[in-house]
Amino acid sequence: MEEDGLELRAAPGFVQADVREEFPGLRLDWITVRGGRRASSPELVQRLRALSNRYRGSGVVAMRTQPIPHAYRAFFRHIGLDPDVTRIPSEQVAVARLLHGRLRSRDRVSDALLIALVETGVPVWALDAEFVGPGGLGIRTTVEGDRLGSGQRSESLVPGALAVADEGRVHAMLFGEVATEHAVSSRTNNIALYAVGVPGVPAIHVEEALWTCAQALGDPRAGP
């Protein structure tokens, strides 16, 4: 995370050399913002209600032809996932909205992540910044002995899978949920937000997703 006064800047995460060679255009950007898991604000709840109106049945079907969803669908196929079975994040949200009739508010962090995804099409995840090593976040393949998370609840991982990690620990599988013990909690003071971009998704959209999330979380460096 790079800061210049009150300006909020995304830091480019590392991508392991062989991963970068196999998947040119894959990127991870991340920032650190202040805060922890709190009840959502009335403003965020109202914002989700307004965003719910973006989804209609025909529009959800047509999403996959739009540039950003199409790019994530193509990348999922590239890494061996069928996007019609394992949906990309934006399609997961769209289908859930149709099933439930609205975008559901959960808490301030979850709502901010959801708003960023709906408004930009780029998925963002959050973890407790205390668990991030000094070298920052990036994407690499798992190796023998890697575990998802840390402590007694961590899980052994199969080598060769794409993961979001720092120099010492794996925090999440790529496009997967953050390890439970690394997730943002009520005890969290600073949140590490990261967004994953794939080939065909301009860098500015990845940065916008992080800024949108930071703004929704109320970090003053992201503006009003």
Residue 95's CATH number: 3.50.40.10
Sign of CA dihedral 208, 12, 131, 168: positive
Partners of 155 in the β-ladder: 148
Domain count along the chain: 1
Q: Taking the CB of residue 26, how many other CB atoms lie within 10 A of it?
A: 21
Q: Which residue has the higher pLDDT, 108 or 154?
A: 108
Question: Where residue 20 falls among pLDDT bands split at 50, 70, 90?
Answer: very high
Please give the order of strands across the beta sheet that includes 27-34: 11-12, 27-34, 190-197, 124-128
User: Rounded to two decimals, what is the model's pTM?
Assistant: 0.90
From the list 95, 114, 115, the residue with the least C-alpha distance to 55 is: 95
* Residue 89 or residue 223, greater confidence: 89
Q: Identify the band that residue 62 occupies on the pLDDT scale cut at 50, 70 and 90.
A: confident
Residue with tokens 């703004």: 215
- In one-letter notation, the amino acid at residue 173 is M
CA distances from 119 to 54, 93, 209 (A): 10, 12, 8
pLDDT at 130: 95
Range of the domain at 102: 2-222
Mean pLDDT, residues 157-181 taken together: 95
